[in-house]
Amino acid sequence: MTIAEILLQDYDTEMKGIRTTLERIPETNPEFKCHDKSMPMGRLAVHVSTLPRFGINILTTDELDLATTKFPDMTFVSREKLLADFDALSAEARTALANSSDEHLQKNWKMSWGDKVIADAPRSLLYRTMFFNHVIHHRAQLGVYLRLNDQPVPPLYGPSADDRMGF
């Protein structure tokens, strides 16, 4: 099995759970925050839905300079837009991963802010830590937001208290 084939097993499972979480984001309260330091729910949901773009970048470029990168608009519009963005970007990220050879994944990828290097390590490591673990972390945060807004938390690694039969 190639590195990409192994990573795709996890990718498909996690992307399904992320989509299920995004399907449950309420449209009525996008400015809800768990804490003053927390990101508003709508913005966090947009971040999660568009994070596959970062995975694409790691897999298809040699580096990213954040000082010259235009950041995407993080304004919550609708659940429909979240899902459309997520579906398109996660499919593109999956294709990029499936097309990545072991050699390509072992080459270094670099992220910087101008002259300041933030990360310079094997692409496979940065794909997992900076994109894959990152999006899973934020999906978990959205689970808390759902609970605090009386929305059903989806079953991800087993049944949830809200969806015992949906697992």
Here the tokens at position 50 are 């568009």
- DSSP string spanning 14-68? HHHHHHHHHHT--SS-TT--SSTTSPPHHHHHHHHHHTHHHHHHHHH-SEEETTS
Here the tokens at position 160 are 């949830």
Which residues share a beta bridge with 65?
112
**Which residues contact residue 127 at a Cβ distance below 8 angstroms, ignoring those fewer than 6 apart?**
7, 55, 58, 59, 97, 105, 109
Q: Which residues of the chain have pLDDT under 50?
A: none
In angstroms, the CA 112 to CA 146 distance is 34
How do strand 108-113 and strand 116-122 relate by DSSP bridges? antiparallel
Domains and CATH numbers, the chain: 3-148 (1.20.120.450)
- Contact at 8 Å (CB) between 130 and 123? no
Q: What is the pLDDT of residue 72?
A: 87
Q: What is the pLDDT of residue 71?
A: 87
Q: What is the pLDDT of residue 23?
A: 97
Containing 86, the helix (H) or strand (E) segment is helix 79-98
Q: What is the pLDDT of residue 164?
A: 67
Q: What is the pLDDT of residue 163?
A: 76
This prediction has a pTM of: 0.94
